[in-house]
Amino acid sequence: MRVLPILAGALLLAACTSAPQTSKAGSTSKPVVYVAVGASESVGVGLTDPLVGAWTQRFYRDSLKPSAVFVNMAVPASTAMQALQAQVPTAASLKPTVATVWLNVNDVFDGVDPVVYGRQLRSIVSTLSRGGAATVLVANTPPLQLLPGYLNCLSGQERATRTFSCPTPVPTATALQAVVAAYNAQIASVTSSTGALLVNLNAAYTAAERGGTTASLVGPDGINPSNAGQALVAHAFAAALARAHSAS
């Protein structure tokens, strides 16, 4: 009967030694507060387990220290304009030290002018950065012309999900590419002028596309990322943060 506690003790010991997080837990020099601003992709719409698989949760879990606090303010179907009104005030009130912004897919499909979008994004980023107190990471727009959802719209097989319905009229692939390029130019301009970190999702997706894995990166609704896509995005954000850390 005395074996039980010994066994439990041994398990505890084993558990302790195999959990490196506990050793890092002590180093809480400055509390990290992370807020995510975004749309359905950032919520993990379409995933079986969004809290496990969403890139925001992954980024929080894998790239920030154990004591970090995380609030995901993302609202599905949100445009930059809507986020500025509904997400950013609460997000800024949390006094974040790290903020991520991925807002562009809905704006593109809603036909928001790139310049107007650029202004709204600049407002979002400057509010969140609070004069440089927060590290803000901003994602640019992936190559949307390859999305199965868009391709379905183009071929006339209209499909709508809760978060996505085909734009009218459906732009051609070339036109869409041009809009995406214009958006990404605005995003690059905002990040370079505000000191925010650019997360080049377009490049990450393009690289994956060359590797021939694009299809598996998109979930069943044809728009939102699959688990693999979420992992790719999380990795891109993590890499951008790591680059910034190693640079400073």
Partner 1 sequence: MNWADAFHLAVRSVLRRPGRAALTVTAVALAAALFTAMLTMAATAQGRVLNQLANGGPLAGIQVAAAAANPSQLGSDNPTQGAPKPITQATRSHINQLPGVVSVLPIVTAQTLVLWPNHAVAPTARGGPDQSRGVVFDEMVGIDLEHAADLPITVLEGHLPAPGSLTEVAVTPALLSKYGIGRTHVASALGAVVELGAPRGFRDPDGFRAFRSRWTRATIVGVVAEEAGSGGVLTSLPQATASHAWTAAGDPTVDSDAPRSPYAGLFVSARGLGQVSQVRSEITRLGYSTSAPENIITTVERYVHVVEIVLAGVGVIALAIAALGITNALLAAVRERRREIGILKAVGARDRDVLRTFLIEATVIGAVGGLIGTIVGLLLARIVAAVVDGYLASQGLAGVHVGIPYLLVLAAVAGSAGLSLLAGLFPARRAARLPAREAVEL
Told to check if 183 binds partner 1 by CB under 8 A, we report: no
Name the helix (H) or strand (E) containing 112: none
Upstream peptide bond of 169 is cis (omega within 30 degrees of 0): yes
Told to check if 1 binds partner 1 by CB under 8 A, we report: yes
Q: How many CB atoms lie within 10 A of CB 211?
A: 8
Told to check if 95 binds partner 1 by CB under 8 A, we report: no
Supply the minimum distance, in Å, between the C-beta of residue 15 and partner 1. 3
Residue 109 identity (one-letter amino acid): F
Supply the minimum distance, in Å, between the C-beta of residue 213 and partner 1. 23
Closest CA to 70 of 112, 98, 104: 98
Residue 194 identity (one-letter amino acid): T
Binding mask 66-85 for partner 1 (x = CB under 8 A): xxxxxxxx-x-x----x--x
Told to check if 215 binds partner 1 by CB under 8 A, we report: no
Nearer to partner 1, 38 or 142 (CB): 38
Closest CA to 104 of 201, 208, 219: 201
Told to check if 178 binds partner 1 by CB under 8 A, we report: no
Stretch that binds partner 1, among 58-66, 137-145, 182-190, 195-203 (CB under 8 A): 58-66
